[in-house]
Structure 1
Amino acid sequence: MQEQPRTPWREDLPLMDFIENQELNWDYVLVCKSTSLDSTEEQKRGHYFSVLQKKGFRIKKVRDGKVTFYGVRAPKDIFNKYVRLLRNPDKGHTSIEDPVSPTSRIRIVHFILHNTAVGFKGKEEKLQDLINAKVFEAAFPLHTRKDETREGLKKSWARWRDIIYVQPIEEIRAYYGEKVALYFAWLGWYTIMLLYAAVVGLIVFFYGFAHFDNSQISQEICTANNTLMCPLCDQNCPYWPLSDTCTYAKVTHLFDNEGTVFFAMFMAVWATIFLELWKRARANTVSGWNLYNWDEDEEELALELINDPECVIKKHEHSYWRSMAVLLGAAVVIAVLIGIAQALVIYRVVVTVSFMRSSCEFVREHANTAAVMSGAVLHYLTIVIMTKVNRVISTYLCNLEKPRTFTERENSFTIKVFTFQFVTHFSSLFYVAFFLGRINGYPGNYVRIAGQWRLEECHPSGCITDLFIQMCVIMFLKQTLSNFVEYLSPYLSYKCRLVKERKCKVRGEDGSEDSAAECWRANYRLGAVHVFSLFDEFLEMVIQYSFTTIFVAAFPLAPLLAFLNNVLEIRLDAIKMTRLQRRIVPRKANDIGIWLQVLEAVGVLAVITNGLVIAVTSDFIPRLIYLYVYGPCASKNTEGINCFSGYINSSLSVFYTKDFENLTQVLQSPRYTNIAECRYRDYRSSDDYSFSTQFWHIFAARLGFLIVFEHLAVCIKFVAAWFVPDIPQRVQNSNLEMKKDHLLEELSMMPEESDDILKAGSPNSYSDFLMDDRVIERSTEV
């Protein structure tokens, strides 16, 4: 590559004549550590700024101790080209001095600065390469102190007292651009819709709470003092009475009752209606911004041509080898994440056994609950660690694909990070929901890990409480600790920088006080933002949405927790973005992008998993079969009889202790000696321990329910999606009117053919006109 000529950049170039207030006149600021004039870094900086000056940029240099600031202002003709090429996309939001809106101005300058390549010693580098090489420390657009829009956002949005008020989306768009505005519009809409789900979830929870002490199943467990359960571990574990789990059984009924099925179906419909109504709200919003038919590829091509008319457009690339490498890499990562989930299972098994062997009676009685809760905390810690690892791996895989545009890169990155994060968050939950207690075998023939540790068993009243505890711990820790760190980290960092700063005015090259540089310094103190800052906010909310919908049948309070979190999250993000962080680069957008497809996929998965939770995890189906086939009410003689009487005894199988692999390992407590049989949760014959007829009846009912539930839920989703149009009629009609006006405008600019014909000669009649040779000749030429 041929090195570009090194024209020294001039610091004494005059500013434009109409500039008066220096604080408001700089589009971008670059910051670096002061170095000697003959250093490589200084030479690269000079070369970079000389290229910018050739493009008409104005540069202002200010030193402040060990830090040097460079203010950058773009020439007006760049923005005139933008208006010309894209047919004035910011119409109605501009002034005579600035042909584009402030957000478009920042976006254009950002694009040019980051795509200006300079050659140094045979190597071509762009701004990001220079930042990576420590030539520059930072580059950012400015929060200006006297900006009315920002001051208005501080007073009406970024304050805790405004927590119950509607967000000023138009003002957010005017200052941060359409992409940020759409994020907060979506987040506000999601939060409002969560309120309805939270109310229904509370009703379902209180329904279970009202029957906390009245459940026949709980009463049977609480009075089963003579029902001895088989030991929960192999060595030094005693028999135990079923009544010891009385409280656990009552808690289980809070989340495993008749309202569970209704709430799961409700949330399937809710997820569909939420997305359909959001599509309508989004259409209304972007139509008002004249962005409904906005084309991102066209804008990026225009920016590339403005930056360099002779540029070679980057083409779309696809390689089957690269795609195969990406798929294999993603498969390996998912396998590792599933392996981590299995390690958590082993941890729970080992901890449960350890607690069961404890000399403390309280620890033995609550061994399973302690193992579940500690496992949930450990799961949260793995989420925190793997979140950072997943981002690094996703970036590497994304670079292998070589996406053409920023949006393609963002979409590719989004899919990979979300997939890895989803597996990290939910792999352990899927095990608890669908495998816990179902693959562990039975007494005398247990399935063991490494031939030593038995897998966990479900509680006699079901496994759904284990799933509830796991979700509750992870969701509570994630929402509280994550918000705590997300807000306090930039706040404390900002305060520390203020303490370290010298309390003096920044002075220019001539030693005079410089108000513009004071503004640059104030922005430099703020926390840094990166290109995927908004991505992090979206990812956090979509993971929360997954928790709220996928296993909501086991955790009806999830929408309430999500609603309370989001009410705080909106103001936390507003304060952080407006007061604690540098200005994010505004970007145009007419939708939330790939996140909409992710939300729709989560909605479909939610229908499947909630159906499985009710059919497999919950005891809803076994209770239903007992009620109509095996219970006392099956004979239709229900007078004075509770239809669930005897259910617990029916759901527990008998095991003869003589069939234990090693009976001497069972701890014989003084209270229970010479035990001939014990009970365990399963539907097996006491003769040969094979599955009983009742098991197959329940299995068939589970399968039938799952098919009916999912087909019904999917049908309701499709009907709801059809019933609520994505685009309101008002928006469709408005777009038709706009197209009509545009065509009429184009038509009015065309020359009148009749005038040309009349100039050539006017026929006396219509027939003469048709026979006119000149007209025929002209038609032939055409």
Structure 2
Amino acid sequence: MKKHRPLSDVEKTPLLALRFTASITTRLQDLVEQRLHQGGFDILNRVVEKNQTILMLTFTQKILEQQAERSHVMKRTNDTQVMDAFTCSDRARFCDLDVRYRDRFGLFSASERSMIALHMINDITVLPEGKTTTELSQLLESRYHAVTHFHNLVADEATRSQKVRLRKNGEKSESLKHVLQTCKIVDSVMPIHLPRAVKSEIVRQTSWPLYHLSPPVHLIQSYYGCEVAFYFAWMGFLMRWYLVPGILGLVVFLLQKARGDTVDEDEYIPIYGVFGFITFILYLRFWDRYEHRLAYQWGTYSLSPYERLKFFALRPEFRGYLRYSPITGEIETFYPAFYRRLKYVLGAIITASMLFVAFVIMILSLNLQGYIRPSANPRRWNDDNPHPFHSPGFAVLAEEGRLFDATSSWRSLIPVAIHVLGINVLNALYRKVSVALTDWENHETEQNYKNSLILKRFLFEAFDCYVALFYLAFYERDVERLRMELVSVFQIDTLRRLCMECILPFGLFRLRTRGKQHVQTGNDTSSISTTDEILEDLEKDEYEQFDDYMEIVIQFGYVTLFASAYPLASLVSIAANLIEMRADCYRMAFLCQRPPSNRSQGMGMWRDLIAAIVWMSALTNCLLMGFSSDQLMHYLPQFYERDEVSGYTDMGHERSWIVIFIIFGLERLLLFVGITLHAIIPEVPEDISDLVERDHFIRMQQDAASLGRDGRKIHTVSKRISMEKSKSKRSSSSDSRGRDIRKRSIRNKILS
């Protein structure tokens, strides 16, 4: 096995790069540097690039361990092998020199050092503790209009009605990093990459061998942190579960070709749809188990008090008015929920108007592709009942020999490409709109803010991507056209992701770095990134994990919601994700800034969205089988009627209720099976539950022993104090008795 050298000493390794804007004054910069130094940071290097000053920040090993203790970093102990909060006094319990990619003390990994550095800079406030004003706070308030100092607020009616942010005497001031970034004094605070050798090792293990479906999640976690590692773990787990329906879908596809059937007539697809739903229900449950296992191994199964405080703390941007808390009786910042709900309604109206534009683009695209054909169903669309979405002026372009010839192998893809381009333009526009709407909603905590933003963007982009497919499936009831649209969107979207996320950023990066000398620091992990490498990283884009999650979740919807229309979707997704996983890893290592290292218990809101898609797929696939195609007709031919002229099949009008009852009955049966499987299979593996209980038991024993030792010490000290008091009392009483005897003897002598 190859021996890996430990990480270089933290005193020699720059952990954070902070870049000031060009407009900052020298005095203000000096005051900020002074405050950073007071907070525990050391400046390894100071570089001026394009009139911007860049600071390379680090701290001592002692400060690192103290901040790790304040942050309650959870680590596995050597003696009891339990997850416990790191403490400086018991540092030997957490030292493990055999763990790869840790420092020479065997304490912290690269992701932990980055996370601790970010915690530390976020904890530095504008004002030191106990201060009410400084030169730095005065400059920020007077010049940048940032309220950062304490106010002595009076708890009266006038104070309660003030429309200002709470600043109570004794409360911490705002975070220095937040104020500097809000006021455009600092434009970047970036965790610094380790040298090329560490990143190359992660990319190599992810990329080779080519058929490997599982990325090195533990190595990724040790370098990038839990939040990034959970994404790659989920992608690898999803691809492994895609294999089962993918192989079955390939068998169904080969049987379909051998028999000459179309997807509209294949009698085996209903079996595939039922099997696919059960497979993804099992996938959902087993992912929960795997997610809990990883969270336990990475020490994030339960958040520490520090992390819970940060997770549920008020956002710095939260605004409201002051009132007396009905719970604590103290002054608090309050924002009525009614106002936020009203903003939800107005935001929904804005979103709906943009979705209407997306719907119009979709209708035009389907006309250009020739998918809206009233002649295909003359019983439904005729002169008395014209098709509401058919546009002859656009549909004529899809005829044979025209610009978008539907029979051509490449011309027919042009409208699809235009549609995909329109979707991406609308999605890019809505990203800014969704951020503005979520800011306007004024959420109290980071968790609520993040969940609201994820939900908005997912619903909008899911509508953009799925509306054409739902239209073809349940309005046109044309499963063959649905399959063609699904295949086209799959191919073009995969090519777009490859170009936009890997090829284009790589080309732009090469153009930016043309003519620059890149000095490689060697192949060992103990070397330190050079200044040129750090400056190159500052020019790169920030890594957006949000978009990566969005793309794979949307793809998951294609696979599950329309399984009865495209059985090969799982197999195609494996091939696409093999490229996606490697492209994401390479882009994150060499084309983007190093992402912040955050502790996480799992996928969060994304897991809930995936679960919603899986449960909804029971309804969509049952409707595809019985309502939009002839797949169910092979099993219930007596309930369907076929038009011999057009070949269109419809449910018999007299007994159509029976087919509807069967379709929804099958859907309810699938839901019952899914609920039963979830009830039978526990969410948390039994061995993990036992380990968690064992950890609690051992910690309780240690606390009891510590309390016992402290109690015995207190008892001994108190006994010693009482003995000293009694001794002093005895001595004082004996002295007083001696004085009394002497006084009586002297008095007797005088009297005699």
Match of 2:643 in 1: 651
Match of 1:61 in 2: 46
Matched, 1:156 2:232: no
Choose which of 422, 429, 435 in structure 2 pairs with 1:395.
Answer: 435
Q: Which amino acid aligns with 1:552?
A: A
Distance 1:315 1:161, change over 3 A: farther
Alpha-carbon separation, structure 2, partners of 1:74 and 1:738: 32
Contact 1:22 1:516 in 2 (8 A): no
Alpha-carbon separation, structure 2, partners of 1:314 and 1:357: 65
Deviations 1:250-290, CA, capped at 9 Å, x for gaps: xxx14531112111111211111111111111122222223
Distance 1:394 1:698, change over 3 A: farther
Distance 1:146 1:611, change over 3 A: closer
Distance 1:66 1:260, change over 3 A: same
Choose which of 228, 240, 243 in structure 2 pairs with 1:192.
Answer: 240
Contact 2:479 2:628 in 1 (8 A): yes
Deviation at 1:406, TM superposition (A): 3.4
Deviations 1:415-456, CA, capped at 9 Å, x for gaps: 11111111111112111111126xxxxxxxxxxxxxxxxxxx
TM-score normalised by the chain length of structure 1:
0.69
Matched, 1:528 2:541: yes
Contact 1:355 1:364 in 2 (8 A): no
Deviations 1:560-591, CA, capped at 9 Å, x for gaps: 11111111111111111122222111110121
Choose which of 514, 533, 549 in structure 1 pairs with 2:560.
Answer: 549
Give 3-state SS (helix, strand or coil) of 1:750's partner: helix
Aligned runs of 1:368-407 on 2, under 5 Å? 375-407=415-447
Distance 1:751 1:316, change over 3 A: farther
Q: Which amino acid aligns with 2:113?
A: R
Give 3-state SS (helix, strand or coil) of 2:707's partner: coil
Match of 2:722 in 1: none
Alpha-carbon separation, structure 2, partners of 1:274 and 1:727: 14
Match of 2:18 in 1: 30
Deviation at 1:331, TM superposition (A): 4.1
Matched, 1:481 2:481: no
Matched, 1:705 2:705: no
Distance 1:354 1:652, change over 3 A: farther
Choose which of 135, 145, 165 in structure 1 pairs with 2:195.
Answer: 145
Alpha-carbon separation, structure 1, partners of 2:195 and 2:332: 39
Deviation at 1:145, TM superposition (A): 1.8
Alpha-carbon separation, structure 2, partners of 1:757 and 1:73: 45
Gaps (5+ residues) in structure 2?
A: 1-6, 77-93, 96-101, 127-135, 149-175, 317-329, 371-391, 522-527, 720-752
Aligned runs of 1:490-569 on 2, under 5 Å? 490-501=505-516, 516-524=530-538, 527-530=540-543, 533-569=544-580
Deviation at 1:407, TM superposition (A): 3.5
Distance 1:502 1:574, change over 3 A: closer
Contact 2:639 2:659 in 1 (8 A): no
Distance 1:466 1:167, change over 3 A: same
Match of 1:322 in 2: 340
Contact 1:279 1:727 in 2 (8 A): yes
Deviation at 1:554, TM superposition (A): 0.7
Aligned runs of 1:527-676 on 2, under 5 Å? 527-530=540-543, 533-622=544-633, 624-625=635-636, 627-628=637-638, 650-652=642-644
Deviations 1:644-698, CA, capped at 9 Å, x for gaps: xxx7xx4247xxxxxxxxxxxxxxxxxxxxxxxxx68476xxxxxxxxxx63146
Contact 2:245 2:570 in 1 (8 A): yes
Contact 2:438 2:452 in 1 (8 A): yes
Match of 2:298 in 1: 289
Identity level (%): 18
Alpha-carbon separation, structure 2, partners of 1:517 and 1:40: 22
Alpha-carbon separation, structure 2, partners of 1:300 and 1:516: 36
Contact 1:79 1:99 in 2 (8 A): no
Alpha-carbon separation, structure 1, partners of 2:615 and 2:675: 11
Alpha-carbon separation, structure 2, partners of 1:44 and 1:555: 62
Aligned runs of 1:655-734 on 2, under 5 Å? 681=648, 695-697=652-654, 699-734=656-691
Distance 1:331 1:360, change over 3 A: closer
Distance 1:389 1:284, change over 3 A: same
Matched, 1:273 2:287: no
Contact 1:356 1:363 in 2 (8 A): no
Match of 1:259 in 2: 268
Alpha-carbon separation, structure 1, partners of 2:704 and 2:484: 68
Distance 1:737 1:313, change over 3 A: farther
Which moves more between the two structures, 717-726 or 547-556? 717-726
Contact 2:626 2:633 in 1 (8 A): no
Gaps (5+ residues) in structure 1?
A: 1-18, 216-252, 438-462, 507-513, 631-646, 654-678, 684-693, 762-782
Q: Which amino acid aligns with 1:61?
A: R
Choose which of 344, 356, 361 in structure 1 pairs with 2:362.
Answer: 344
Alpha-carbon separation, structure 2, partners of 1:295 and 1:759: 34
Distance 1:592 1:317, change over 3 A: farther
- For the aligned residue pairs, the C-alpha RMSD in angstroms reads 4.0
Contact 1:79 1:100 in 2 (8 A): no
Matched, 1:168 2:216: yes
Give 3-state SS (helix, strand or coil) of 2:14's partner: coil
Match of 1:768 in 2: none
Alpha-carbon separation, structure 2, partners of 1:102 and 1:313: 41
Q: Which amino acid aligns with 1:703?
A: I
Alpha-carbon separation, structure 1, partners of 2:257 and 2:512: 51
Alpha-carbon separation, structure 2, partners of 1:393 and 1:22: 41
Match of 1:658 in 2: none
Contact 1:280 1:726 in 2 (8 A): yes
Match of 1:12 in 2: none
Contact 1:494 1:580 in 2 (8 A): yes
Deviation at 1:58, TM superposition (A): 1.8
Q: Which amino acid aligns with 1:528?
A: D
Contact 2:312 2:447 in 1 (8 A): no
Distance 1:132 1:368, change over 3 A: farther
TM-score normalised by the chain length of structure 2:
0.71
Q: Which amino acid aligns with 1:432?
A: L
Contact 1:652 1:680 in 2 (8 A): yes
Matched, 1:51 2:62: no
Distance 1:318 1:293, change over 3 A: farther
Contact 1:156 1:162 in 2 (8 A): no
Alpha-carbon separation, structure 1, partners of 2:533 and 2:357: 51
Match of 2:88 in 1: none
Alpha-carbon separation, structure 2, partners of 1:303 and 1:700: 51
Contact 1:326 1:401 in 2 (8 A): yes
Give 3-state SS (helix, strand or coil) of 1:30's partner: strand
Distance 1:335 1:210, change over 3 A: farther
Alpha-carbon separation, structure 2, partners of 1:104 and 1:136: 24
Match of 2:55 in 1: 70
Alpha-carbon separation, structure 1, partners of 2:304 and 2:718: 44
Give 3-state SS (helix, strand or coil) of 1:552's partner: coil
Deviation at 1:731, TM superposition (A): 0.7
Deviation at 1:522, TM superposition (A): 4.4
Q: How many residues align?
A: 604
Distance 1:358 1:365, change over 3 A: closer
Alpha-carbon separation, structure 2, partners of 1:703 and 1:418: 31
Alpha-carbon separation, structure 1, partners of 2:669 and 2:8: 68
Matched, 1:748 2:748: no
Match of 1:84 in 2: 69
